[in-house]
Amino acid sequence: MNAVSVKNLRVLLRSSGKPILDGISFDIGIGDRLALIGESGSGKSMTALSLLSLLPPSMKEEGIVHIGDTDMITAAERERNTVRGSFAAIVYQEPLTALDPLMTVGNQIAGPLKLHRRLTGTAARTEVFRLLDMVKLSDSSRIVSSYPYELSGGQRQRIAIAMALACSPRLLIADEPTTALDVTIQKDILALLDELVRDSGMSLLFITHDLAVAAKISERVAIMQKGKIVESGSMDDVLSRPAHPYTRQLLDAAVKVSTVPFLPPDSPETARGSV
Amino acid sequence: MKTDIRKINIPLIAGTALVLLTAAVALVSCFWTPYALDDTAGGLRLSAPGALHWAGTDKLGRDLFSQLMVGARYAILVAVLSPLISAVIGIPFGLIAATGGKILDESLSYLFDAMIAFPAILLAMLVVTVQGASMSSAILAIGFSSSAAVARVTRVNALHVLATDYVRAARASGVSRPAVLFRHVLPNISPMLFVQLTLVASGAILAEASLSYLGLGSPPPQASWGRMLMEAQSSVLTAPWGAVIPGCAIAVFVLGLNFLGDGIREIIDPEEEMNE
């Protein structure tokens, strides 16, 4: 059994029949990782949503999507709800909006615990603290009763991760989890994800537009463009011998950025306009 | 952040004060009025405001101030029950439109628009004609006709909340669609709904006054501000206070409700906060 098995997944607009995703296929084995790379609008996030059958009502999906043993496309909504959260979980891009502003952090993390593990009261509270420890949030007794606006972006993203991990999923889908964060915080969150996934033996689908980030977290990569996977394979192969022109473009762009010499804004060179 | 000293919210204070004033008058009228409503014993018809009759008397010699006080009771009743009815009808339909898929959403939205375009007073007259003129049919009619506006506000704000990451995160963690509505959507749209309902309340006061003025509101033993206006109409040139005083009462209460809505909006409006 694979954690994820996708064959010829197509997502179509109901109104016009225009394909958003066109013939996506990939597998992620138990404990394996895959980085899905592409620019905005290439269909990365759509892929994540369609794995859990969470597409907006204006779209429909065709093909085969197995999450664990469950065929997500034919399963009843009840079964899908069991898969969501207890077998597979998502961490989203924007930590500002990923938490309900009217709910304390403790209550939000306790939500999935109650839903899937029937934990309430003291048991739930203990578990919430264990999860906060797991994502390395100090001062957890204060954080539990805080509202999201009282916390920093990095703290919120750690809480979002804690929520995703609440029911020990076998598959974690991370949809650009570090994109909205400061560079230094990015590094911490990435290291945390890496460690959590390794320790628990979870499978990971890591979605990003950033080749460098992807290379740090995953050995396998799939490149997406315009709703299709244009190239996939081991990270080394794809990076050293890109076969598809789009992959080469992506690589070129990454190289160019890293070769621009960095100068602080008030350095004499910057002032003379030599950069 | 919690200890922020906010600038003084004048509309909220003024609105609360005016609404409480009306409520207090209504409450007092349950126990005491200067004269009984049907007391014409003084025989002073159309007397001007003075020590004996604080707001004067009408053409039958009844005390206007007593009528005004009892009228406040019905005004409060209208201001509470009409929004309640519009909420009970409007919120579920708004949520159904927001979650029911494209076809249901579009047909319901057209229905809301059609209801809003239809003059509320006409709709109310229709209900009153069928049900007979009474306070309860006026309240029912007003509540029903303003439910479309509530449904529209519910739909728009629910769509906004449904598109947020925390709702997507909740769905991704296995929370079912209906559970998301109760857990996340309703709490997050409740401030906007509350503002809308204060507007419904002030609109309801005006609508009830219009209905009563047309003779379609509460029948004579009850005193409503709108009916006081109607009865004062024939003598408005000789005894203008008969119309001016209930008119002012309506204006004060409606103003109070509008201020209250503004005050609440000022608290929740995020743009306002950014400007501070």
In chain B, which residues have their Cβ closer than 8 Å to the Cβ of A85?
172-175
How many other C-beta atoms are found inside a 10 Å radius of the C-beta of residue A149?
A: 11
H helix or E strand, kind and range, residue B162: helix B135-162
Distance, CA of B205 to CA of B253 (rounded, Å):
8
Distance, CA of B75 to CA of B247 (rounded, Å):
13
Q: Report yes or no on whether pTM surpasses 0.80.
A: no
For the stretch B18-38, pLDDT in tens is: 989 988 888 888 887 777 777
> A176: closest CA among B176, B165, B159, B161?
B165
One-letter amino acid for residue A193 of the chain? L
Q: What pLDDT tens digit does each residue of chain A (275 aa) get?
A: 788 899 999 999 888 888 888 888 999 988 899 999 888 888 888 898 888 888 887 888 888 999 888 888 888 888 888 888 788 888 888 777 788 888 899 988 888 888 888 888 888 888 899 999 888 888 888 999 999 889 988 899 899 888 888 888 889 999 888 887 888 888 888 899 999 998 888 999 999 888 888 888 888 989 998 888 888 888 888 888 888 888 888 877 766 555 555 555 565 555 555 44
Whether complex ipTM tops 0.90: no
> Given an 8 Å threshold on Cβ–Cβ distance, is A163 in contact with B102?
no
Q: Which residues of chain A have a Cβ shorter than 8 Å from any chain B Cβ?
A: 14, 49, 52, 54, 57-58, 77, 81-86, 88-90, 92-94, 97-103, 108, 111-112, 115-116, 149-150, 160, 163-164, 166-167
For the stretch B216-253, pLDDT in tens is: 777 776 778 888 888 877 777 777 777 888 889 899 99
> Given an 8 Å threshold on Cβ–Cβ distance, is A98 in contact with B183?
no
> B18: closest CA among B185, B231, B192, B263?
B263
How many other C-beta atoms are found inside a 10 Å radius of the C-beta of residue B243?
A: 17
Distance, CA of B120 to CA of B118 (rounded, Å):
6
Distance, CA of B167 to CA of A55 (rounded, Å):
13
Q: Phi then psi for A62, rounded to 5 degrees?
A: -130, 155
